[in-house]
Structure 1
């Protein structure tokens, strides 16, 4: 891993897709800056497809996909892809693609039932209270108690769930997918882009453990500066690291990509 400023000239010239984590990668301490929003817009204006890939719940992702300068949002760690569409021509339409096909009520009920079991098994565990509209995942709030958070992960896995941790939540889901599998499916099915092509044309930025599959697979990867807090737990570090944290680091990445595109 090297500082982004050390990249060879033209390294990002072939980038056509920018996928990025959202919480504490586009935001910083929970806030989205004007500079970060502008960077998203500039990437789109340059003809680059911009897709956040986030653990955030469906309620947030619906709003982002409709109103942000992005082409769609992969949400709940891969449970769905909300793709921006023209709808009736007013620019507000979305096409919703779920990992399990049509939204699976049975899957959500299984997650609720397992969540109730974990609440009884792990003393002090609390479901995330930020947003009630989750459609494909189970989220527990992180409270800084590493032992309790690990106990939640262990309980999820014992109940047959996939599990991971990001900077806000302990997450569980059903289906065996992750950010990488969901990104590969979205690119293949909706952008006619196979994995070999994506390895050359996709850039990704992130900051936490649930970004590990993306860091391990893609060539053009950046960790914003706070990635140092979990580097020791990543199987593979991102290729580059920014100077700034959160959105400031993403702006550095966007500017580097745009500069290389202009050459």
Structure 2
């Protein structure tokens, strides 16, 4: 990793999309600062499409897509894309799975959740579980052995898994943040990220950002990513000075400078 402060901003001239994790990337200690929110707005004003890519539940993502200065939100680690309708207050919902499979998948996820609770009696669903549509989330425990047991139980039940600083997440379908980002940019924005890799800058902070760090040439970790490097096969190319939203502002600044310089 190289300090983002040392980057020649001209290398970001072709960036048209900023994709970003939310928890502890846009936020810091669970709070969204005014400067980070303003950075989202400034990116849009500079003509950049802004899409949070998060493990957060559908309920949170619906609110973000409607009210934040973003173009849409990929949520629950790739389970859906909520696209803001630019001329209305509505949201267009696009799911990884076809609608006819939703009920069956929800039932299977509920069964898996109960099996995990049976296998790990001390496990607890995340408080936001009631707001989820495509995943099951367990509160991240302080005990690493308990976290490992929850992950093992999810995997024994054929669930896809990831972890971040808030949740241990399980879902069905074989997708991840990168797979849904690839689909969204191709279908909604007619951009093949395999061909136009430099069109995207990704900002993240932890383990579930690993596929994005590995794929995108313009990948940025906020400073706290150093806590998770042992769990990330490919480190981000750049690292910010500040944590969370402070680091995100640094990333936004270099993209905006590249567009206006």
SS of 1:27's partner is: coil
**Superposition map of 1:105-184 within 5 A:** 105-130=103-128, 132-184=130-182
| 1:95 correspondence with 2:61 | no
TM-score, structure 1 length as denominator?
0.97
| C-alpha distance in structure 2 between counterparts of 1:8 and 1:84, whole Å | 33
| C-alpha distance in structure 2 between counterparts of 1:190 and 1:226, whole Å | 32
1:101-139 Cα shifts (integer Å, max 9, x gaps): 227021111111110110010131000013521000010
SS of 2:145's partner is: helix
| C-alpha distance in structure 1 between counterparts of 2:114 and 2:129, whole Å | 18
Q: 1:95 to 1:107 in 2, by over 3 A?
A: same
- How far did 1:261 drift? 1.3
| C-alpha distance in structure 2 between counterparts of 1:47 and 1:261, whole Å | 9
1:65-104 Cα shifts (integer Å, max 9, x gaps): 0000000000000000000114xx4x31111000002270
SS of 2:162's partner is: strand
| C-alpha distance in structure 1 between counterparts of 2:43 and 2:245, whole Å | 14
- How far did 1:29 drift? 0.4
1:193-241 Cα shifts (integer Å, max 9, x gaps): 0123441110000001000000000000100000000011110000000
Q: 1:42 to 1:27 in 2, by over 3 A?
A: same
| C-alpha distance in structure 2 between counterparts of 1:9 and 1:229, whole Å | 27
TM-score, structure 2 length as denominator?
0.97
| 1:240 correspondence with 2:234 | no
- How far did 1:255 drift? 0.5
User: What's 1:58 paired with?
Assistant: 58
Is the 2:66–2:91 Cα contact (8 Å) retained in structure 1? yes
Listed as ranges, the gaps of 5+ residues in structure 2 are none
Paired residues in the alignment total: 260
| 1:192 correspondence with 2:190 | yes
1:155-175 Cα shifts (integer Å, max 9, x gaps): 111101001101100000000
Is the 1:59–1:131 Cα contact (8 Å) retained in structure 2? no
Is the 2:9–2:254 Cα contact (8 Å) retained in structure 1? no
| C-alpha distance in structure 1 between counterparts of 2:131 and 2:104, whole Å | 16
Worse overlay, 160-169 or 192-201:
192-201
| 1:37 correspondence with 2:34 | no
| C-alpha distance in structure 2 between counterparts of 1:233 and 1:62, whole Å | 30
SS of 2:41's partner is: helix
